[in-house]
Amino acid sequence: MGSLGLAATLRLGLFQGCLGCLAVIFSGLLNRVMLTELAFPGLLVGGALACEQFVAPARVLFGQISDAHPWGGRHRLPYIWLGSLLFCGFAVASIPLIFHVARLLEAGSSVAVASGIAALCGLFALYGLSISLATTPYLALVIDRTSEAERPRAVGIIWCMLTVGIVIGAIVIAISLKGLDGITDPAVLEPVLLAFMAKVAAVVLALTLVATLGMERSQQRQSATTAGRDDAITLRQAWQLITCSRQVLVFFSFLICFTLGLFLQDPILESYGAQVFGMPIAATASLNAFWGIGTLLGLLVAGLWLVPRLGKLAAARLGCQLIVATLVLLLLCGFTAKVVLLNWVLLLFGLAAGIGTNSALVLMLDLTLPQAAGTFVGVWGLAQALSRALGKVFGGGLLDLGRALQEQWALGSGPLPAFALVLLVEIAVAALALVLLARLNLHQFREDTSQSLSKVLALELG
């Protein structure tokens, strides 16, 4: 296991920043263009975008493959580079495809429309697979390069870079495409957006090489302490390994509840500001900025001070408690309808989210075995991706349910009750994450998985 200095940490963080930048450009820009300029049905847009997350089970396979099958003596970098090349290519290909589907929708042929929709969903799924192929070995590389003591700081810096990348992506869109405001003609939009996405993809690929080149030494040159990964572990053995301990299920469930507890309100946050607080469009767009600033502060505070001082479990417990408390405040401030109060609560919620995220990520990276780091990271990544996808679906669904119940039970005509249902469910899910965290036993996890690894390898040797 190597030592990751500050310069190397910043370089690795640059890759996360590129991912964040491309993600907000890819999903945010396409979501806006498909819904507004091309007038796609909302269900089609949401379903297509969700395909990116629903292919998350492949993370487990990609993690196991990167553990077991090195290219040129390297387990991580070839997969990171291949995945990056693919997701950049699919991002560029998405532009002509959405305009082609728009033309099919306008023509109205049911067979052609169905094939276009299938192609669109397939492209988003391939994009998600490519992201999984790149990011699962990337997180395993972070484990390979850091000691347990180094990880809180490394995770804090790397995920701060991710958040910065998201902000930069939003700024890039605003500046680069400002001249397209009010233009809805596909003949004008398509070439401009295609050229823009191609430039973004080229920059992301170049920065990915800068961020990762030289970060993994060839296995033949590694010392005995860093070459302990067993290349013979199979997918069947990997499955035996991740099902050997109840603690794996506990932490998997915790990650799902924790991530849902952070993002269940995400699809309805801007509508909450608009309908409950009477905020205009430009003002609601700034709500994520308050949350993002708080998250950056929380990541840094947790990584540089809180986790080293309190320990991983205690810091994660504190983060979950703060998330529950700030979600309660987010609900209560709706009764006041004061925008200033909402902004401050979102800043605090972001701070709690940053503390919880850093602690949960450090736990996630620690709850692995060096011999199967990619496999475990794939499982944990699956939990996070599935919960993000479920958050997109359930957030809007709960809002619709709340409105139906409000009308059925004659709870008045105000918008708050429907939003309150979403926030109450989110509070309950975050509290459940706290309960699951209390049942996590790091010592038992390591003991069970280490013994299981020894058994499966002994059986393989016969």
Q: How confident is the model at residue 36 (pLDDT cuts 50, 70, 90)?
A: low
- Least confident piece of the model among 22-36, 72-86, 152-166, 194-208: 22-36
Instruction: List, for residues 352-408, the tens digit of each pLDDT value.
Output: 999 999 898 888 877 776 667 777 778 877 788 788 878 877 887 888 888 889 888
The predicted structure's pLDDT at residue 171: 76
The predicted structure's pLDDT at residue 453: 63
The predicted structure's pLDDT at residue 235: 58
Q: What is the DSSP letter of 215?
A: S
| Identical fold, 1-217 and 232-462 | yes
What tokens appear for 190 in the block? Answer: 């398509």
The predicted structure's pLDDT at residue 231: 43
- State how far the alpha carbon of 123 is from the alpha carbons of 89, 116, 134, 261, in Å: 10, 11, 17, 29
Q: Percent of the chain at pLDDT above 70?
A: 87
* Nearest of 170, 22, 20 to residue 85 by alpha carbon: 22
**Residues of the chain by 3-state class (helix, strand, coil), percent to 5:** 85, 0, 15
Of 3.40.640.10, 3.40.50.300, 1.20.1250.20, 1.10.490.10, which CATH number belongs to 232-462? 1.20.1250.20
CB 395 within 8 A of CB 269: no
CA–CA separation, 348 and 107 (whole Å) = 49
CA–CA separation, 397 and 207 (whole Å) = 38
What tokens appear for 410 in the block? Answer: 């004659």
CA–CA separation, 126 and 45 (whole Å) = 16
pTM: 0.73
What tokens appear for 250 in the block? Answer: 């506990």
* Nearest of 302, 346, 341 to residue 327 by alpha carbon: 346
Is the pLDDT score of 228 beyond 70?
A: no
The residues with which 74 forms a beta bridge, in sequence order, are 71
Domain segments of the chain as ranges: 1-217, 232-462
- State how far the alpha carbon of 305 is from the alpha carbons of 145, 358, 460, in Å: 21, 11, 44
The predicted structure's pLDDT at residue 97: 95
CA–CA separation, 262 and 346 (whole Å) = 12
The predicted structure's pLDDT at residue 227: 43
b vs e for 50-60, b when ≥16 Cβ sit within 10 Å of the residue's Cβ?
A: bbbbbbbebbb
What tokens appear for 68 in the block? Answer: 């077991």
CA–CA separation, 456 and 431 (whole Å) = 37
CB 425 within 8 A of CB 99: no
Give the 3-state DSSP-derived string for 303-327, with helices as H, strands as E and coil as C. HHHHHHHHCHHHHHHHHHHHHHHHH
The predicted structure's pLDDT at residue 233: 53
CB 56 within 8 A of CB 382: yes
Is the pLDDT score of 9 beyond 70?
A: yes
Q: Work out the mean pLDDT of the chain and round it to a whole number.
A: 83
Kind and range of the H or E element at 2?
Answer: none
- Least confident piece of the model among 13-22, 51-60, 252-261, 313-322: 51-60
Instruction: List, for residues 416-443, the tens digit of each pLDDT value.
Output: 998 899 999 999 999 999 999 999 988 8
Query: What is the fold, at CATH topology level, of the domain defined by 1-217?
Result: Growth Hormone; Chain: A; (1.20.1250)
* Nearest of 142, 98, 95, 139 to residue 119 by alpha carbon: 98
Kind and range of the H or E element at 199?
Answer: helix 186-212
Q: What is the DSSP letter of 220?
A: G
